[in-house]
Structure 1
């Protein structure tokens, strides 16, 4: 997806960045619900540490106290200090990333998305990329540091793509919704509830100005799918804030905090309502102009994912994987009933709904999956941390399931695996179809938790990769999680029951169609309706899911990363294990892959197979 990079409140060298916030380490006074003994006043004091004040002073000296001429000739700082300087600047630019990461001195802050703020952001991104290249030649770094350097340069280039090439800040109103999620304040028990209420109040106070800056920066008319998605996100956020959030904090017995919250809530909800009404008007002059085009699509591949292959080659790769999965689907369905069509076979799997609902069944599946993973021995589990399951809030309904893991600076907090309910505006029969079937839900739980995203996050937390803990690479993340689905089937998940395998194949087909749909929508002139039909005809999706997936392809062209990432990992596995014991080395391959954090897959292949690697990416 386009990165959650929606802010720049001040430049790296401004006096306000050092005056307003020394940067603290992890806030650890939170803990499980009801277990914290730290008062909200003590928590606020703990948000700034002496070490953080020193870091701010170092940043000021390095960034501002030395003339530019002297900086150009001065010996480079250590990579560790440079990486820390970047992380501080990153959180200044996007406070929501600091909050997500567990740096709660950023609580309540919303980003500056004015035109000058965007310009300062671009300048900062370019500056850090240039310095990483100029000041840190590979020969001066350890292999681990050089991996971080390459990861940082790639991530910065990807962020710049969305601003410079895609122009998301001008073209896509939904782009702005991603940096203002309140979910950390609402769902993550990182601090006493009174402190979180104070934080979300500050967030609410800043929302009207943020939304005003957004409208001033955007340049209508917009692509119709962008507007439709933005209406869901901003309208859903307003509903969530008004109907759900007050109840979360109702037991905070502090009249002053409750009064400030109520005073901030009404204007914030009203501002979101104004945005929703404005977007409804924008539908009148909306366009079908969402496509990147061939040139920008090539830039997306190179700048965001480090893929140096043209779209025609990738289309052939996607088509080959689609054909492979269609054959596997046909063979598996015939093993159920020789006379069963693939459409009826898919319907049988989709119609097998969990009686108690998706959230309750997923809660049962997670310990079962973990036990299977331990028994199969295909990858180690580095800690006893667990994930919990909850229904996704309305404003996050644009994806059917996702997981939110605690940030790298948090301690003792669980991950939350969210499952979205159907849109209540849909007809009842469409809502029922949207609920995942038992096998589909099992595969989603594999993808999101065991051994997908959640396990990956456990390895990432223990990695020495400083940059990888803060910046995530979508192709490695989604490629691994999708790869894990097929891996678990090969290990025997489901005890050979063919309909369980069909559930996994159907998800693989959906990812294949995403790959083809991305290319079609952005390069070949495919319409949203044509994309939707492809999802229903080749992946047998229900109308609600097919609509959701087709729309997602317009604003998230990188959703090809699931299949492409999986295929790159499979090729890496075969090449890496060829000289290390073959299949017996799969576990070692998996653990080595996950231990590197979130580097781009082409870079990671070079690191794992060495500079003399004669193999190819695919």
Structure 2
């Protein structure tokens, strides 16, 4: 879950666009495009004023001291914001905009429509208590060194004034909430108490803020703690007569998929494609397992059941992994190999002036070993990009062994491709080459995750791993995670899949560990649609590449496709496709 959220943050941190020069000059209205550029800045200024927490998270700090109370007036203001800007968009003919601006136009329009839909139709402010949690932005203000500490602490203190009213408003909105989301809200709000009870006071002691002012600030923090505890206790005592199911249902799911994923396909079509893909991957995994069986099992009888056969082979290959203390070192050593392979195969340009810094996962991110990318935000494009690697130090031997079997010799290489080169890190470098903020702020998660999944296949297709069947088998296992994320999410929220059926899908058909499957079940019970972003983006990119290769014929170049695709920034694949497949 942590990794996914970080990936989601990386999506917000990504940025940019194509220059738009491929649009026919006769169709482009330069005056209109200049006006649209001015409108974009006006939209962004208005967006941050209406969403101060979001502004803080992307590095815009004008409104750090503002905490909006989530009451009826705030929702009405959000609807007015959306309506006002939808009216403004009517002044611009998208056909007369550059390619870059066409995409920006669509992203802004989709965002505004989704704001209206979430308030008027989804209404999760009523049934999702985890919507109400102030600790994230407060923690960001404390932990990020973007301003002098005293300045940040005074912004922190100013925000504290509205915390009691914030939680009173939350109580007034909630009715018959989802039990699973109620539990999540309790856990997350309690988890954030230390920010106000300890971290704030510790930070104050490092400053020269006068003692009387500090005492007033501490009193405000105590009032905030009281408000949070009051909310938590209220949730614990809540006994809704007709609690809402966490399952979204077909109508809401289809609509949310359309706004969040922005795919050329419907949610149902993506589900059907995932089912077809699962069958294909199982067939290929069985074929490879039969090929490898004599090498690893000699004359031992081969299981008749194909899934049992695949499981036995995966279990055997998973024993090949690094030692716990070598986890980070193995990742560091792998990156130059990936760069050399990409250069040798001429797959795409890797900018040597944008180094990736591999580091031990910072303490404030620690808790689950793994790997993630921390990219600079849209207001700090010159900042470092970090590849955070979790430590297994202090883990019990059996827990570390289980983890390392999951991220074995083969999967660890695929993880590096996905997270770093040529996956997330490389895509973010390309994105940051343009000053466009819209594609950064409203970045499409399906494109970002889809690109990372696509690069795994692209690297293996071009011979990475020496075409070893072991590497292909393990990649198919990894790819099944992407495929089954979609199947699970749609099946649970639309088709009422039970927990037992979900665990069977993940453990028996996707070859995941029981603990991992349990975690995924919890995730699908407190989120919806996001799990489909990986497979949807991947499928759309593969579809686009096939169509682009056909269009280009003898002139097709994989390197040209990859670089042209990335030049459009973190935009929905369906819009990139419209621009790359011009006739």
**Counterparts of 1:367 and 1:112 in 2: how far apart (Å)?**
49
Q: Does 1:222 align with 2:177?
A: yes
RMSD of aligned alpha carbons: 4.0
Aligned to 1:37: none
Measured against aligned partners, the alpha-carbon deviations of 1:31-74 in whole angstroms (never above 9, x if no partner) come to xxxxxxxxxxxxxxxxxxxxxxxxxxxxxxxxxxxxxxxxxxxx
**Counterparts of 2:124 and 2:457 in 1: how far apart (Å)?**
34
Task: Give the 3 Å change call, closer, same or farther, for CA 191–522 of structure 1 in structure 2.
Answer: same
Contact 1:100 1:406 in 2 (8 A): no
**Counterparts of 1:467 and 1:201 in 2: how far apart (Å)?**
31
Q: Does 1:507 align with 2:478?
A: yes
**Counterparts of 2:581 and 2:49 in 1: how far apart (Å)?**
37
Question: How far did residue 501 of structure 1 move?
Answer: 3.9
Aligned to 1:453: 424
Task: Give the 3 Å change call, closer, same or farther, for CA 189–547 of structure 1 in structure 2.
Answer: same
Aligned to 1:300: 256
Q: Does 1:561 align with 2:529?
A: no
Aligned to 2:38: 81
Superposition map of 1:515-526 within 5 A: 515-526=486-497
Task: Give the 3 Å change call, closer, same or farther, for CA 264–532 of structure 1 in structure 2.
Answer: farther
**Which runs of 5 or more residues in structure 1 are unaligned?**
6-74, 613-618
Aligned to 1:8: none
Secondary structure of 1:403's aligned partner:
strand
Aligned to 2:122: 166
Question: How far did residue 88 of structure 1 move?
Answer: 0.8
Q: Does 1:213 align with 2:169?
A: yes
**Counterparts of 1:578 and 1:416 in 2: how far apart (Å)?**
38
Contact 1:102 1:409 in 2 (8 A): yes
Aligned to 1:585: 557
Superposition map of 1:340-359 within 5 A: 341-348=309-316, 352=321, 354-356=323-325
Choose from 333, 342, 348 the match for 1:379.
348
Measured against aligned partners, the alpha-carbon deviations of 1:140-174 in whole angstroms (never above 9, x if no partner) come to 42333222112211232234333333222222222
Measured against aligned partners, the alpha-carbon deviations of 1:440-485 in whole angstroms (never above 9, x if no partner) come to 3443333233222222222222225442122111211111122122
Choose from 371, 383, 398 the match for 1:413.
383
Choose from 517, 520, 524 the match for 1:546.
517
Aligned to 1:474: 445
**Counterparts of 2:579 and 2:397 in 1: how far apart (Å)?**
51
Choose from 104, 120, 126 the match for 1:148.
104
Q: Does 1:254 align with 2:208?
A: yes
Question: How far did residue 597 of structure 1 move?
Answer: 1.8
Contact 1:227 1:282 in 2 (8 A): no
**Counterparts of 1:441 and 1:535 in 2: how far apart (Å)?**
20
Choose from 548, 553, 564 the match for 1:576.
548
**Counterparts of 1:216 and 1:431 in 2: how far apart (Å)?**
46
Aligned to 1:63: none
Task: Give the 3 Å change call, closer, same or farther, for CA 541–609 of structure 1 in structure 2.
Answer: same
Superposition map of 1:123-142 within 5 A: 123-132=80-89, 134-142=90-98
**Counterparts of 1:538 and 1:303 in 2: how far apart (Å)?**
30
Choose from 190, 193, 205 the match for 1:235.
190
Choose from 54, 58, 62 the match for 1:97.
54
Structure showing greater relative contact order (alpha-carbon pairs closer than 8 Å, 6 or more residues apart): 2
**Counterparts of 1:278 and 1:360 in 2: how far apart (Å)?**
48
Q: Does 1:111 align with 2:68?
A: yes
**Counterparts of 1:557 and 1:118 in 2: how far apart (Å)?**
23
How many residues get paired? 537
Q: Normalized against structure 1, the TM-score is what? A: 0.75
Moved more, 471-480 or 264-273: 264-273
**Counterparts of 1:506 and 1:243 in 2: how far apart (Å)?**
44
Task: Give the 3 Å change call, closer, same or farther, for CA 252–178 of structure 1 in structure 2.
Answer: closer
Aligned to 1:601: 573
Task: Give the 3 Å change call, closer, same or farther, for CA 151–427 of structure 1 in structure 2.
Answer: same
Question: How far did residue 573 of structure 1 move?
Answer: 0.9
Task: Give the 3 Å change call, closer, same or farther, for CA 527–211 of structure 1 in structure 2.
Answer: farther
Contact 1:95 1:106 in 2 (8 A): yes
Contact 2:263 2:574 in 1 (8 A): yes
Question: How far did residue 331 of structure 1 move?
Answer: 3.5
Q: Does 1:437 align with 2:411?
A: no
